């Protein structure tokens, strides 16, 4: 059983398009995250939601908008895609308040042409 | 801002040898974690060491933490080709829920 799943795994699109990445976790965790990993493998947090409430919002262009329909899902919508958005995006989850380990999804490789 | 810095950036060893990776961080922490990332995959949590612990073991992994030097090391003993991956340390920055990762060490274990 997949604990944290993301779709799609690969996403190739043209500059200027709008796209979404979906994430679901079946671990019963209260907190979910989006990370961006660049070509140098540097991993940086973008957003975090706790029980559908936004708790971390890093300096990310407002073209990126997270949406949490329920605590098991955290989707990432990106408007007006730019070349620099090309990266691997990871979703993760953790139990609330533990500041413990995080469980990562397999990643979505976004390529903007 | 980046919290952890691993070194070396890359490490290549023979199967059976031990691999040691180091991590330094800047602010106070309540725990430090190590993650592994196989090529093309997501990160997998390996081990968490709390700030009041000095050493922790898990299978072939040994982690040490020196809070006075703000540093940690990950030792993988008797390495295997399957240990080939990137290894990241991560800490929660200050009092926040934000987990900050280092740049990682790319380990290659040659059969």
Q: What is the pLDDT of residues A66-84, one digit of tens each?
A: 999 998 999 999 999 999 9
Q: Taking the C-alpha atoms of A108, A109, A110 and A112 in order, what is their torsion angle to the nearest 10 degrees?
A: -170
Would you say residue B87 has pLDDT above 80? yes
Residues of chain A with pLDDT > 90, as a percent, come to: 76
The pair of three-digit structure tokens given for residue B3, joined into one six-digit string: 């919290």
Give the model's pLDDT for residue B2: 46
Give the model's pLDDT for residue A100: 86
Would you say residue A28 has pLDDT above 60? yes
The pair of three-digit structure tokens given for residue B30, joined into one six-digit string: 């309540």
Would you say residue A96 has pLDDT above 50? yes
Kindly indicate the confidence band of residue A56, based on its pLDDT and cuts at 50, 70 and 90: confident
Would you say residue B67 has pLDDT above 90? yes
**Residue pair A89/A78 in contact by the 8 Å Cβ criterion:** no
Give the model's pLDDT for residue B96: 75
What mean pLDDT is predicted for residues A46-53?
88
What mean pLDDT is predicted for residues B40-59?
95
Burial B22-55 (b: 16+ CB within 10 A, else e): bbbbeeebebbbbbbbeeeebbebbbbbeeeeee
What average pLDDT does the structure give for chain A? 92
CA distance A33 to B32: 18
Give the model's pLDDT for residue A15: 97
Mapping DSSP onto H, E and C, the string for chain A reads CCCEEEECCEEEECCCCCEEEEEEECCCCCEEEEEEECCCCCEEEEEEEECCEEEEECCCCCCEEEEEEECCEEEEEECCCCHHHCEEEEEEEECCCCCCCCEECCCEEEEEC
Would you say residue B3 has pLDDT above 60? no
CA distance B63 to B32: 10
Give the model's pLDDT for residue A12: 98
Distance from CA of B67 to the nearest CA of A (A): 18
B98 closest CB neighbour out of A43, A56, A92: A56
Give the model's pLDDT for residue B1: 40
In B75-94, the residues whose Cβ lies within 8 Å of chain A are 86, 88, 92
Contact between chains at B96 and A56 (C-beta distance less than 8 A): yes
What mean pLDDT is predicted for residues A12-24?
97
- Whether the link from the prior residue into A73 is cis, omega within 30° of 0, is no
For an interface test with A, the pick among B37, B42, B46, B50 (most A C-beta atoms closer than 10 Å) comes out as: B42
All residues of chain A having their beta carbon less than 8 Å from the beta carbon of residue B98 are 45, 48, 56, 58
Give the model's pLDDT for residue A97: 61
CA proximity to B102, closest of A44, A67, A106, A8:
A44
Kindly indicate the confidence band of residue A99, based on its pLDDT and cuts at 50, 70 and 90: confident
């Amino acid at each position: 059983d997949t604990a944290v799943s993301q779709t799609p795994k690969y996403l190739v699109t043209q500059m200027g398009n709008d796209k979404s990445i979906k994430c679901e976790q079946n671990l019963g965790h209260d907190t979910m995250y989006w990370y961006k990993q660049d070509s140098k493998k540097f991993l940086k947090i973008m957003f975090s939601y706790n029980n559908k409430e936004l708790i971390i919002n890093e300096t990310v262009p407002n073209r990126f908008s997270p949406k949490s329909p329920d605590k098991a899902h955290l989707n990432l919508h990106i408007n007006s895609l730019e070349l620099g958005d090309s990266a691997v995006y990871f979703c993760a989850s953790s139990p609330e308040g533990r500041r413990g380990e995080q469980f990562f999804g397999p990643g979505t490789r976004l390529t903007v042409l | 801002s980046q919290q952890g810095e691993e070194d070396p950036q890359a490490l290549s060893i023979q199967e059976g040898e031990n691999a040691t990776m180091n991590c330094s961080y800047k602010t106070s922490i309540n725990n430090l974690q190590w993650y592994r990332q196989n090529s093309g995959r997501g990160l997998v949590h390996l081990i968490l060491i709390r700030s009041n612990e000095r050493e922790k073991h898990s299978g072939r992994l040994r982690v040490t933490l020196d809070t006075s030097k703000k540093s940690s090391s990950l030792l993988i003993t008797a390495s295997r080709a399957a240990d080939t991956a990137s290894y990241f340390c991560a800490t929660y920055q200050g009092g926040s829920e934000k987990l900050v990762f280092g740049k990682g060490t790319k380990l290659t274990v040659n059969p």
